Amino acid sequence: MSKRYRPQLRWTTYAGQRRQMWAGYDSAGHVIGWYLDEETAWHAMGIVGHCACGATYTAQQWAELELVGVVDRLFQQRNCTCGSTISRETTERDNLTC
């Protein structure tokens, strides 16, 4: 498995103004784009879920985690490999059978 880089809040020039934006990275550590929010940077990097322990999950890896619950069909909760419960918004493609 390739090394994963976390999005970082960095200074850049956007629309002629100096501002802070989120940098998204590829597996080699190169910047692939600049984003206005952290969640968009995660998705651009192919990451659909992440845990405070540092684990990151692609869509396929997320689907393989144990589904432990669904909140109002808006959020799904799954167990991280560290034992924590993490959640993310559901999408139309998600299989939410508990």
- The per-residue pLDDT for range 60-89, each reduced to its tens digit, is 888 888 888 888 777 888 999 888 988 888
Q: Answer yes or no: pTM beyond 0.75.
A: no
User: What is the pLDDT, as a whole number, of residue 95?
Assistant: 55
Average pLDDT over residues 41-57: 85
Q: What 8-state DSSP symbol labels residue 61?
A: H
| Contact call for residues 4 and 47 (beta carbons, < 8 A) | yes
User: What is the pLDDT, as a whole number, of residue 2?
Assistant: 40
Distance from the first to the final alpha carbon of the chain? 28
More confident residue, 3 or 81: 81
C-alpha count within 13 angstroms, C-beta hemisphere, residue 5 = 17
* Residue 97's pLDDT band (cuts 50, 70, 90): low
